[in-house]
Amino acid sequence: MTVAHIAQHLETLAPLHYAEDFDNVGLLVGDASMEVTGILVTLDTLEHVVDEAIAGQCNLIVSFHPIIFKGLKTLTGRDYVERTVLKAIKNDIAIFCVHTALDNSPLGVNAKLCQVLDIRQPKILLPKKGTIKKLVTHVPKAQLASLREALFEAGAGTIGNYDHCSFALEGEGSFRPGEAANPTVGKRGETHFGDEVQLHMTFAAAAESNIRKALFHNHPYEEVAYEITTLDNTNQNMGMGMLGTLGAPMEETAFLEHVKERLNARGIRHSALLGRPVQKIAVLGGSGSFAIPAALKQGADVFLTADLKYHQFFQAEGQIVLLDVGHFETEQFTKNLLVDFLNKKIPNFAVTLSRSVTNPIKYF
């Protein structure tokens, strides 16, 4: 089992293609072809986490947050980032990060947060744009079924909770092969007319590479006529945050106590309570102030997130209760999620949950 094999499994949960543009995800340190002896899963990769990996004979650290976020110009050990990276390199330990790729996953950070808080029937709060694409190609009618099936296998034809979706339109195609051509049908220098089918299929953007390979490998023509476009359609299965409901309405203070207990929060900063029961809850683990308008628009009673600034609490406008529970507190269960996922994907392999508490914030 190599680092690359583990990465392939992780990408089925959190495709790196869906990470935010500002982020730094994937293999940050190490050789993708290295054999893995053990995996340590952590929220943050710090020096003492690398020590933990060494002690546990784990040569791959799967981390939620990236230890390398901005470009490194030196590796002299002058700060905690450089010291951590140097220690990992010296001990042949690879570091793989998922961060916002997992934030945007429907089974990721916010799904786990909803599970912990018993928020039911969650849906994506902020669907990610540009994640749905469309393939249009032309194929002889006789080869339609085999090409379509190959594209289905590669991941084409997905729409929300449906797969194997396609639309075929029959017509007449024409082309004239040049002298250097090697046509499947027709003759060089002569215009060929034949029955063709125009095939339409949507797909997740992360599957584009596999779909292109399947198209070129299975299409009968020497030159494949095709178009791939990015759609503006909303992808309800990919994006930041989640919105769901409690099993029954709760008084505001009771809900705050519920959050405090489930997340082991030392303190909750919040906007003014509104004196009414709450049931519709929006969540976004980590820094989520940018989703306040979405939570308001979708009628959430409470929006639970972290890292809210002073003036952002005014955005509640007397319509919603904003909760700042803490960055670590809202993401702490992410490593449990990753361990459970890897144990299912690669049973009988050494996957260890880090015991290190990496929260840098202390309370007096």
Please state, in angstroms and rounded to a whole number, the distance separating the CA atoms of residues 308 and 270. Answer: 9
pLDDT at residue 252 in the model: 97
Please state, in angstroms and rounded to a whole number, the distance separating the CA atoms of residues 232 and 133. Answer: 9
- Stretch (H or E) spanning 61: strand 60-63
- Cβ-based burial of 314 (10 A; exposed 0-12, middle 13-18, buried ≥19): exposed
pLDDT at residue 14 in the model: 96
pLDDT at residue 45 in the model: 98
Instruction: Give the list of residues 6+ apart from residue 284 with CB closer than 8 angstroms, or none.
Output: 110, 125, 126, 240, 241, 242, 291, 303, 304, 305, 330
Instruction: Give the list of residues 6+ apart from residue 239 with CB closer than 8 angstroms, or none.
Output: 104, 124, 125, 126, 127, 128
Contact 260, 222 (CB under 8 A): no
Q: Where are the alpha helices (DSSP H) in 219-354?
A: 252-262, 292-297, 327-331, 334-345
pLDDT at residue 70 in the model: 87
Q: Which region, left, alpha or beta, applies to residue 186 given φ > 0 means left and ψ of -120 to 50 means alpha? A: left
How would you write the pLDDT of the chain (364 residues) with one tens digit per residue?
A: 999 999 999 999 999 999 999 999 999 999 999 999 999 999 999 999 999 999 999 999 999 999 999 889 999 999 999 999 999 999 999 999 999 999 999 999 999 999 999 999 999 999 998 899 999 999 999 999 999 999 999 999 988 788 999 999 999 999 999 989 898 888 999 999 989 999 999 999 989 999 999 999 999 999 999 999 999 988 888 999 999 999 999 999 999 999 999 999 999 999 999 999 999 999 999 999 999 999 999 999 999 999 999 999 999 999 999 999 999 999 999 999 999 999 999 998 999 999 999 999 999 8
Phi, psi of 340 (to 5 degrees): -60, -40
Give the bridge partners for 171, in sequence order: 196
pLDDT at residue 93 in the model: 98
Please state, in angstroms and rounded to a whole number, the distance separating the CA atoms of residues 326 and 324. Answer: 6
pLDDT at residue 184 in the model: 85
> What's the whole-model pTM score?
0.89
pLDDT at residue 234 in the model: 83
Neighbours of 257 (CB within 10 A): 13
